[in-house]
Every structure is written in C-alpha cells, then in structure tokens.
Structure 1
Amino acid sequence: MKYRFCGNSGLQLPMISLGLWHNFGYVDNYATARDIIFHAFDKGITHFDIANNYGPPPGSAEANFGRMLSEGLKNHRDEIIVTSKAGHLMWDGPYGDGGSRKYIMASINQSLKRTGLEYFDIFYSHRYCSETPLEETVQALIDIVKQGKALYVGLSKYPVDKAAEACEMMRQQNVRCLIYQDRYSMLSRKPEGAHFAMCREHGLGFIAFSPLAQGLLTNRYINGIPEGSRAARDGGFL
C-alpha cells in the first residue's frame, strides 16, 4: 500500500480506504464483514470510515466495527485511522439530524460508545445544514478536538463557499480542518471544479466516496442485478 500526506498535515492516509456505509450492518453477514476488515488491514489499508447512520440499521456499522476492535483489531489502534461523522438523520425527534451543537455532541458520544473508542482520528460534519448557523456547527467541531474526542475534523458534501468559510473559522481558533470528502468518480466529477481549488487554497486533503459509483463502474451489474447486491436493496443507492 502507498500512503500520501493529507493536505498540509503530517498525517499519512492510504491511497485506498475502506468505508462501511453498506455491507457492514446488522442485516449483513458479520463473519464476512469481519473477514473483509481484517483482510484490508493485512493488505495495508489503515483507514476505516464509518458514520453514525451507517448500517443498516443506523448505528449498526459502528457497533459491528467496535466488536471487530474487541476481537483483535484494537491491539493495532495506533496503526489505524478510524473516522466517523454526524449530520444525517440518526434518531427520531428534533435533535437527531442536522448540524446543531446538541445533535453533534450527542452523536459523537453515542458513536464513541458504540465503537468502544476513546477518540476518533477524524470526525466529520457529514453535510452542510442550512437551518443551523455555520458558526454553531463549526464551534462544535472545534470543541470536539479541544475535548480530545477527535484528533482532526473534516467536512463532507459542503457547498464550496460554506466549506471555505468553515475552514477560516477553524483556523482562527487554531484548529485546522484536515480533509474534505465528496462523491467523486468517472460518473460524478463535480469536485474537479471549485472544490479541488478550495482544498488547495486551505491546505485540505480530499477523499472520495463512491469512487466506483457504488459498483456501476465494475462488472457487478453487467448481466443484471444480482440477488443480495446493493442495487437490489431499498435505499441501496444514493
């Protein structure tokens, strides 16, 4: 595995990371999921990306990953990067979605409990919430770092102007935004515009999700939709 420095930081990330959005929840075969994670680590993939709502059902990918940690992966805690996020619908009611301080703080505490970790290496605001003042979301991220609940913070799927504004807010309080995440593949090339330039300007790393368009850029669906595949599930594609 090859590694690259993430933006203007001293943190190196593998050129291939493993995300746990689907195929790692309670509806999936745990033994298979565990084999995938352990095989990936053996091959030099040190970055595992989860979020509060990953599963399905929501929260189950974090819980399963916590179980894998307890089954041996935690012995290598200082050799891996574990990331999580908050921003999408996680639980019912007015405090289980969005970008409020109430939701973000509750969410990271729940995520740490599910995984059994003391901190995340990177914690993201999973989306821009137009109904929450940006400074409220950003201050929560800053405080998460200062409280030791995450080493770094990142942004995911933000409008470019809001991402730049958030980076400046963090810089003013001596907490650098480490990384920006967005959908990027041959079928989805939006970040090649202003987002790549924003990352360069602010010294952020960029990480792509769905680089194979959730399997559409592989031979997975050439002959139709296989039973049990992501496309066969309700909500399997975004």
Structure 2
Amino acid sequence: MRRIDYDRELHENYARGRALTGRQLQVWIDAFAAVLPGRRPLTGLDVGSGTGRFTPALASAFGPVIGIEPSVRMREVAEARPGVRYLDGRAEDLPVPAASADYALMFLSWHHVADKPQAVHELARVLRPGGRLLLRANFSDHHPRPWWLDHFPRAHEVETALFQPLHEVIAMFTANGWRVTDFTTVTEPSSGTRRDMLDRLRLRSLSFFAHLTPDEQEAGFRSLERAVAEDPDAPAPVFAEPLLTLERG
C-alpha cells in the first residue's frame, strides 16, 4: 500500500474532517487515564500528532507533552493553537532524549510507520522503565468496522492490507521486552447525525480514501448518500475502537 504524504494531501481538511466533540475527547482522556499511572504530572509524547487534536487535551489532563509529527503542514495547523510544543519527527526517529517520557500515545498512526521494528526500539529508548505506550490502532482481526465502510468497493480488501493483526503487533513488542498491560475497546459518543457524518466523509480526510480509485470513491459515496437519505437526521451509529496498552520493560 502506498504511503500518504500529508504535506501534499489530506492536510487541508484533516482538522475539520477528524475533529472530536468535547464529549468524544473526554471519553478518550478518561480511557487514557484508566491505563496510565495515577501520579501527576506525567511527561508525554503524542507520536504522529497530526493537527494536534489530542495534544492540548493530553497536556491539560496529564502534564507536559510534546507532539511529534513529520508533516510540516500538519504541524503548522497544530501550532496555530499555542501552549504545546511540536517537533519534526517520526516513530522511528524521535527527537527527544532517552528515558525522558512517562508515556507515548499513538492514535491511528501505527499503520503509517514504515519501519515498525525500529519504532519498537525507539519508543523503548524514549520511555522511562515502566513507561506506557497507548496504541489506538486498527488491527486486521479487531477492526471497528464503521457503519459507512460497507458502501465502498474493495473496502475490506484495503483495510486488511493496511492493518496488521493484533497478535502480530503484540509479538513484535513482547519479543523486545515490552509487556501487554491492557487491551480494551472505547466507544465514542456519536459525532452528530448521519448527514453530519456524510459531510465530514466528503472531506476525504481519512487515509482510507487515498487507497481507492476515483471511480470507487464516487460509487461508494453514491451508495452512502442513498442510505443516509433514508433517515438523515438519525444519530450517526457508534462503534467500539480498540486500545492496546504496552509497558516498557
């Protein structure tokens, strides 16, 4: 599967298309708090921070945090909101000292990592002993399957190719001294109506769309539009999203 260049695509609409409501954001912060140490402050890294949709909330809830993002344009959007430091970097090459963080969050960025074994070592380098990695990733065998996905041709083929199975991810980490401390699912509150969700999907801010042809996208949106038209003001269905927590040895 091709890599997404966020400096050339997706960055313009990412913040709008992937925005979280206050209730949704609080649900995630509560989920992170449940698997992190109870002491405060905690020093954190938001790896693959994108436009910073989580970074300021992490800082408010837990303590100082640095957003790590390779895309210049995504960082520019994030830096428009003051109060958080963002650095150029990626999971394989984190621009922070060894043993300098209590936790790292990777929220839907693991599948973008080109050299995953190197990222496993690099994440271990920057976390203190006992530090936690919060990995919100889609896994090919534990996929949340959002309600709109079935309307797009080759959707399941694309998703299977994009994501590793859960056991493969766990094995990669545990073979290098990490241990699993938690695996759970988190259900976000609805983001609005089905019509609202269709409008956001039209922004094509999900990397999934970049792996479909224009014809496949067009056919999928026609199908989805017909389905939404049947009850456009109904709440957008919710689904459970996996969260894997690993501890550095």
Give the structure-1-normalised TM-score. Answer: 0.38
Q: Which structure's relative contact order is higher, taking Cα pairs within 8 Å and 6+ residues apart?
A: 2
Give the structure-2-normalised TM-score. Answer: 0.36
